[in-house]
Chains A and B, each alone.
Chain A
Amino acid sequence: GESVGLHLPTLSVQEGDNSIINCAYSNSASDYFIWYKQESGKGPQFIIDIRSNMDKRQGQRVTVLLNKTVKHLSLQIAATQPGDSAVYFCAENAGNMLTFGGGTRLMVKP
């Protein structure tokens, strides 16, 4: 993920629809990945993680998919709700060093 400063990529979805947020990571040695949700003025909140020996992991209303071939990570949110509106960051861990992507803003329309 590349930082885009103040102009975050934005995904706008209708309440009840599914959301897919994508992330390209850079280090082929990364073996652990995390998705965080960050609401305005708050710290990042851990949503779901996945290790490199898996390609899919599901949580409550969220699914993370990992494609190591193209170094791509995605977060799927089912039945998106207004409370899901936030900035979402992916993070990759290589050698016990965590690096964040630039974030995507999710806006949920009622």
Chain B
Amino acid sequence: EAEVAQSPRYKITEKSQAVAFWCDPISGHATLYWYRQILGQGPELLVQFQDESVVDDSQLPKDRFSAERLKGVDSTLKIQPAELGDSAMYLCASSLVTSGGPFFGPGTRLTVL
């Protein structure tokens, strides 16, 4: 069964350092999402791509966060510099209009010390 892949699964970093997360969506899925989930809450959208284009990044803190999907397939989310409040689960998801979803990957658990 096709799945969304994410790496790393866990990341511990110190504040002010840079971190990057990688996502490979389900093959053929044109829409890719990055969500942030704080413990006990529902996921909140950070950025949404349609192919290589950003369609919504209104909730992305652009002073420190960046996301790219250069070839319209896999994607990278970067935080620089990381802050204590960035500790959360970062989830990637993908969807295809005709197949429902989005479908989520396993997430990256970020801890900022």
Contacts and interface: CB of A to CB of B under 8 A. Distances in A.
Interface of A: 1, 3-8, 32, 34, 36, 41-46, 49, 89, 91, 96-103
Contact of A103 (B42, B48, B103): B42
Interface of A (DSSP majority class): loop
Given A34-B100, A98-B102, A44 B41 contact: no
Contacts of A44: 43, 91, 104
Contacts, number: 59
A8 B106 CA distance: 21
B12 interface: no
Contacts of B33: 98
A43 B91 contact: yes
Closest 9 interchain pairs by CB? A100-B42, A43-B104, A6-B40, A43-B107, A44-B104, A3-B41, A43-B106, A49-B100, A89-B42
B85 interface: no
23 contacts: A1-B42, A3-B42, A5-B40, A5-B41, A6-B40, A32-B100, A41-B109, A42-B106, A42-B107, A43-B89, A44-B43, A44-B104, A46-B102, A46-B104, A96-B31, A97-B45, A97-B56, A98-B33, A100-B43, A100-B44, A101-B42, A102-B42, A103-B40
B2 interface: no
B45 A98 contact: yes
Interface residues of B, number: 26
A36 B101 CA distance: 10
A26 to B, nearest CB: 13
Contact of B41 (A32, A41, A91, A103): A103
A6 B104 contact: no
Contacts of A97: 45, 48, 56
